[in-house]
Amino acid sequence: MAEGDGVNRATSALRTALVGHRLRRFEAPRLMGPPPDLGRVVESVTHHGRHLRIRWDDDLVLDTHLKMSGIWDLYRPGQQWRKSHRNMCVLIETDDWTAVCYNAPVVETYRAPDRTRHPAMGRLGPNLRDPAAKLGIAVERLMGYPDPEAYLAEVLLDQRVFYGVGNVYRSEVLWALQVSPWAHVGELDEYGAETLIETAATMLRSGGECVSALAARDGLAVYGRNGQGCLRCRDTIRAHRIGHLARSVYWCDGCQTYLDSRPIVTVDEMDPHPAVAQYLAELPWRDQDAG
Ligand SMILES: [Zn+2]
């Protein structure tokens, strides 16, 4: 059997189990680099050769270089492990699954380069996760955004305004405020901008749990829930890519109507769940890697 097949299978299985789910526990005894934050949501699982990479929505990437000895396994809570705990080099736990990597020679984390940031366009905005962050700077940058026609869904990922929000929480913040992802940033007044920043900061600092009274599993109200009923109004959650970014935003058409500036051309296609979207996007690569 081709060497890549095992990694392909592990990648697909981990993707199905982890993408869209919140990190509850993390262990990696010989990790090089910072550990992922608990509460963060897995956004993708990919592999390149025998590097299996798990990326959280704040762009932290865990890279396990499996070489010849490393394998990944998945367990339900309480299920017996296939190998000894001594061989464990990574443990990732969500509400439903425990993913365990055994015997990978290299386990490291790093920040993926931010796709939205243009080096010529200025410095990073404040980190909204940091309790000492100056939120006023983020409000100013939002109010003075260079392109007033830009959609809020895009602006929320622009790290010149602020960073730390990521792809999962941009959908959650907009849902919490009932603001349309197609709101033009230029139409926010100062109160709207302040509310947006404060909501995002509160959500990030609490690990996103502030919607938990309403939210279903993982404390997420809209992210990855396309096709399901909205927890607030029962309308259908939808997903779509906005602007030049390849990442989908999730929203409810029924109750996120504030400042909706959608183009006349209606959006009728629906993106698949993030795990499925990623699988489909990578199909051409799978054969190469397996070969
Ligand atoms: Zn709704």
Please give the distance, rounded to the nearest whole angstrom, from the Cα atom of residue 205 to the centre of ligand 1: 24
Question: What's phi and psi for 114, nearest 5 deg?
Answer: -75, 125
Please give the distance, rounded to the nearest whole angstrom, from the Cα atom of residue 175 to the centre of ligand 1: 8
Is there a contact between 63 and 108 (Cβ–Cβ < 8 Å)? yes
Please give the distance, rounded to the nearest whole angstrom, from the Cα atom of residue 252 to the centre of ligand 1: 5
The enclosing domain of 109 has a CATH number of 3.20.190.10
Place of tokens 């026609």: 149
Please give the distance, rounded to the nearest whole angstrom, from the Cα atom of residue 49 to the centre of ligand 1: 42
Residues 148 and 222 in one domain: yes
The enclosing domain of 238 has a CATH number of 1.10.8.50
pLDDT at 289 over 50: no
- CA-to-CA distance for 211 and 207, rounded, in angstroms? 10
Window from 149-158, 263-272, 274-283 with minimum mean pLDDT: 263-272
Residues 251 and 126 in one domain: yes
Ion ligand 1 residue ranges (Cβ < 5 Å): 230, 232-233, 235, 252, 254-255
Reported confidence tier of residue 263, pLDDT bands at 50, 70, 90: confident
Averaged pLDDT for residues 228-240: 92
pLDDT at 3 over 80: no
Please give the distance, rounded to the nearest whole angstrom, from the Cα atom of residue 223 to the centre of ligand 1: 13
Residue 29's domain spans which residues? 4-113
The tens digit of pLDDT for each residue in 12-56 reads 999 999 998 999 999 999 999 999 998 889 999 999 889 999 999
Please give the distance, rounded to the nearest whole angstrom, from the Cα atom of residue 231 to the centre of ligand 1: 7
Q: Is the pTM of this model over 0.75?
A: no
Number of domains, the chain:
2
Reported confidence tier of residue 124, pLDDT bands at 50, 70, 90: confident
Reported confidence tier of residue 9, pLDDT bands at 50, 70, 90: very high
pLDDT at 4 over 70: no
